[in-house]
Amino acid sequence: MDSKKLTLSNGAPYFEHQDSQTVGPRGPVLLQDFILQENLAHFVRERIPERIVHAKGSGAYGTFTVTHDISQYTKAKLFSKVGNSCRMFARFSTVGGEKGSADTARDPRGFALKFYTEDGNWDLVGNNTPVFFIKDAKKFPDFIHTQKRVPKTNLKSATMMWDFWSLNPESLHQVLILMSDRGTPHGYRHMHGFGSHTFSMINDKNERVWVKFHFKTKQGVKNFTEEEAVKMAGENPDFAQEDLCNAIENGDFPKWTMYIQVMTEEQAKDFRWNPFDVTKVWFHDDFPLIEVGEMELNEIPVNYFAHVEQSTFSPSNLINGISFSPDKMLQGRLFSYPDAHRYRVGVNAHQLEVNRCPFEVNNYQRDGYMADSSHYQDKPNYHPNSFDDIKADSSYKNYEYELDSAHVASYNRNDNDSDHYTQPGLLYSKAMNAEDRDHLIKNIVGSMSGITGPKRDEIINRQLCHFFRANIELGMKVASQLNVNIDANMMNHSK
């Protein structure tokens, strides 16, 4: 086989890869050794800013295939008929840990999907939980700070985590999921995925419904216990990455079944809770799962950095027939996600292979760092113009609708939506079995035992009140194992 020449980035071949130019065998290195300069300069720039959240992750390519007809709900071409398929890319991740942290840590898991469709790339950016800790994006930076490190010591802190959660009872639903064994999934193949937010679908009659997306693992749900997760973090902090890679390399392609829940606009008006509140679920008995298709991951990227680290996802990457909702957290993400990618990867991140739409991209965006003009070349960068053949298609007009109110204000997110306890209580009493409940309590006690400082008792008592409101047994067991004496005031607060 013919060998290839070693070249510089400009394509010029060179030979001296291991020895710098010096004045004599022991003399100083010359500035003119541009080969040394280029290699060192590139080396110290090999990393891009780490994701603030979801830094530790794994990714794979695959295929999504439509198995059931949902065209009555959406005009998206992907779902226009059974058998349609598209290539896709999935990235799984932990949320709070840094890039070098263990991927078995107790944490929610990111579940980000990119569908390369003929109508553009569609990103569904969710988690392995159907709910989240907060319901307004304005609170997101503060929440994430509590999951990171204390500014003074640069250490993780159970105190600031539980302080925040105890002051924000809307987090209780997600906290109970996080503190259960679902907070330590056995890799990425054995967990469900959720779009989490409420989205909308619009059909060819211009009718809108609200939807939630679910992905159920076909490998079966499997979780670590706290002890197993901690042990694995020490033995193999890359367990989930290795598990995913090994499975795909061995031909054991992981699969998930996609479902949707559908709620009409009329049903939304009468729903017990705010249907756009990401701290709540829609009960399956009321809004049953409707099967849609199957996702299969079957290809590990050839280069982790190029494909997984540089992949960008945003819920603003929507396609005709699928749209957003008034979900306040989702609305914030529509801005913050693409903005994060413009900072982290660059304004032309969408031109990279993993993010690029494989079909048409025609617009008037130009230039910026790492601009690739191979597609638009010398075409006009303004509109309207007399020279190009780009025409806006009226069939892709946005869905038009009336808002319920024209009054602008910073509405209290909990006004008429302050029931933070019914669903967590049902999660504990109905969805969990006896073993799940035992592990949940053990994990909560273990975590809350790390609360320290002069506000320790105040934080613990405040959080215990939330547990009591959700379920008396839960509160009693946690309090007992934390050696907290229950007084009448605490019980009264729980009513």
Q: Where are the alpha helices (DSSP H) in 271-327?
A: 304
Q: Which of 54, 307, 350, 420 is catalytic?
A: 54
Report the DSSP pairing between strands 255-264 and 120-127: unpaired
Q: Which residues contact 98 (CB under 8 A, 6 or more apart)?
A: 50, 55, 56
Q: Which residues contact 6 (CB under 8 A, 6 or more apart)?
A: 13, 14, 15, 17
Q: Report DSSP letters for 360-411, one per residue.
A: --------STT---TTTTTS-SSSS-SS------GGGPPPP---S-------
Burial classification of residue 65, based on how many CB atoms lie within 10 Å of its CB (0-12 exposed, 13-18 middle, 19 or more buried)? middle
Whose tokens are 């998930």? That residue is 256
Phi, psi torsion values for 32, nearest 5 degrees: -75, -5
Q: Are 309 and 345 in contact (CB under 8 A)?
A: no
Interatomic CA distance for residues 262 and 171, integer angstroms: 25
Q: Which of 127, 320, 355, 471 is catalytic?
A: 127
Our answer to whether residue 127 is catalytic in this structure is yes
Q: Report DSSP letters for 99-112, one per residue.
A: TTS-TTSSS-EEEE
DSSP 8-class letter at 235: H
Q: Which residues are catalytic?
A: 54, 127
